[in-house]
Structure 1
């Protein structure tokens, strides 16, 4: 392991954060979406994806783009109860408004709810091991828009069923969200399986309670291969670093673990931009 550069000296020039939380929201956030955009522009970033557990962000992203046309600000919808659950019409509205990502349930995901012993889960797979019927219509809508399907906080058992079925329904763009997060902790074998099915693995800034931390993320990234990995932050909570400091700390940590500037750029700029860009194929040739 090489010496870790000072995080303050890390450049975010060209970087694109695939996973960030900003206000307005039902919980405190470091910045509003407009403040995020201003800071991202000042940092020289390409843009970011706005995620919210409680309402769609496609329209908010469009408003931010109007104010900051030099940034690519992307939104979508999370299929939680607060957003209508598995209501295809809600998804189609978000996609029609320019949304590029559809996340499966997060706060209502089986992975999170089972880990926290919390009620309110929305299973994506039925008792027969098949995708619940309304999701098939949603998969077709995602495919028609060539948008991104992200796994959210569903369980490990649900992930392969989702990817196999969504591929059959025409979806081409997939993200396995933060497999390192403590309430999911997806094994490397599962990550390799979904990578083989075309998914991009999204690693996010590790939480304080993470058991693997940067070392685990670095090892899993090498095992999967940088061409199939994105580094993002999933930041916005005021009890964690702000998204810009966190992104810089993440890059500094990965640099000290042997990743080159070109590899970092691929994971923080090239791959996430290709993933959300509807004019490009989600995976390199």
Structure 2
């Protein structure tokens, strides 16, 4: 029963059916002895939901913004708007800014390759249509010359406010473009979003190259095993290759019929222990590293 901090928990209300809203997530985390979670939404900022949770005494959830077209894509104004609501100590409720996910060019290419019609995969929604036809979505690419001013402004705002940059569903080439640029512009905390995911496919050696830049963490997510069919051995190989000191464990849960964060973290930990990852290494990745990224330590 480790007091994990889950930096990748999906929550509603959202078009995609979710297990929890912000209040329910906070209550479940508290009841089950977790440290807290960052709430993710593919459609809009979770800042207003976290503010409502704060007003009801929930202190263990934090907000994020995902830069899909639903918030204007690589839109600095969406980020500025999400910075307005703050904690009592002045820090933003917003803690993580994700690069595009369902509207990233790499994500859309995968969806088209699978013959899917919508930007949001049906396995995320239980078969419900909960998105936009892929042929109607202009793909977002962070290397596009036309978005460079906006991208640099976004990265500068992330740096100025001490936020975490997460790479989303970008391609490998985009990640190798984005991360050094973010470091150059002063971003100190970067998460490589589940680097084994089909849109990105970073190898262990490539992840090591990026984490060597400092302040860059490899995210290993429980949900990639049951949903995307990554094996526990493959996940453990990333952990051993990159090192626990540069890795965080998340659930990427929140699916309506899925496990709770506690169930997900505990099962993830059990699977990794069977692959030879030690209990202390799991604490490093599930508690210490994410807590430090959140500024909770």
Q: Same fold (TM over 0.5)?
A: yes
Could you tell me how far apart the structure 2 residues matched to 1:240 and 1:181 are?
Answer: 19
Could you tell me how far apart the structure 2 residues matched to 1:20 and 1:124 are?
Answer: 24
Structure 1 window deviating more from structure 2 (74-83 vs 108-117): it is 108-117
Determine if contact 1:62/1:73 at 8 Å carries over to the other structure: no
Could you tell me how far apart the structure 1 residues matched to 2:147 and 2:212 are?
Answer: 20
After TM superposition, which residue ranges in structure 1, 4 or more long, deviate above 6 angstroms?
none
Could you tell me how far apart the structure 2 residues matched to 1:131 and 1:266 are?
Answer: 37
Could you tell me how far apart the structure 2 residues matched to 1:22 and 1:77 are?
Answer: 12
Could you tell me how far apart the structure 1 residues matched to 2:199 and 2:225 are?
Answer: 11
Cα displacement (A) at 1:209: 5.2
Q: Output aligned runs, 1:10-49, within 5 Å.
A: 11=1, 13-49=2-38
1:189 corresponds to 2:205: yes
Query: What secondary structure, in the 3-state scheme, does the structure 1 residue paired with 2:83 have?
Result: helix
Q: TM-score, normalised by structure 2?
A: 0.84
Corresponding residue of 2:109: 114
Corresponding residue of 2:167: 151
Could you tell me how far apart the structure 2 residues matched to 1:241 and 1:41 are?
Answer: 16
Structure 2 unaligned residues grouped into runs of 5+: 86-91, 113-133
Superposed CA deviations along residues 248-268 of structure 1, whole A, max 9, x for unmatched, are 211110112222221111111
Corresponding residue of 1:135: 151
1:90 corresponds to 2:70: no
Determine if contact 1:131/1:165 at 8 Å carries over to the other structure: no
Corresponding residue of 2:217: 200
Could you tell me how far apart the structure 2 residues matched to 1:85 and 1:126 are?
Answer: 13
Could you tell me how far apart the structure 2 residues matched to 1:209 and 1:138 are?
Answer: 31
Cα displacement (A) at 1:61: 1.7
Determine if contact 1:15/1:45 at 8 Å carries over to the other structure: yes
Superposed CA deviations along residues 119-161 of structure 1, whole A, max 9, x for unmatched, are 421111026xx97221111111111101111100011100011
Cα displacement (A) at 1:14: 1.6
Could you tell me how far apart the structure 2 residues matched to 1:247 and 1:65 are?
Answer: 24
Superposed CA deviations along residues 23-78 of structure 1, whole A, max 9, x for unmatched, are 21111111222111111101111100000000101221232233344x43111211
Structure 1 window deviating more from structure 2 (218-227 vs 260-269): it is 260-269
1:105 corresponds to 2:113: no
Query: What secondary structure, in the 3-state scheme, does the structure 2 residue paired with 1:26 have?
Result: coil
Structure 1 unaligned residues grouped into runs of 5+: 1-10, 281-285
Corresponding residue of 1:260: 278
Q: TM-score, normalised by structure 1?
A: 0.87
Could you tell me how far apart the structure 2 residues matched to 1:178 and 1:154 are?
Answer: 11
Determine if contact 2:4/2:265 at 8 Å carries over to the other structure: no
Corresponding residue of 2:263: 245
CA RMSD of aligned residues (A): 1.9
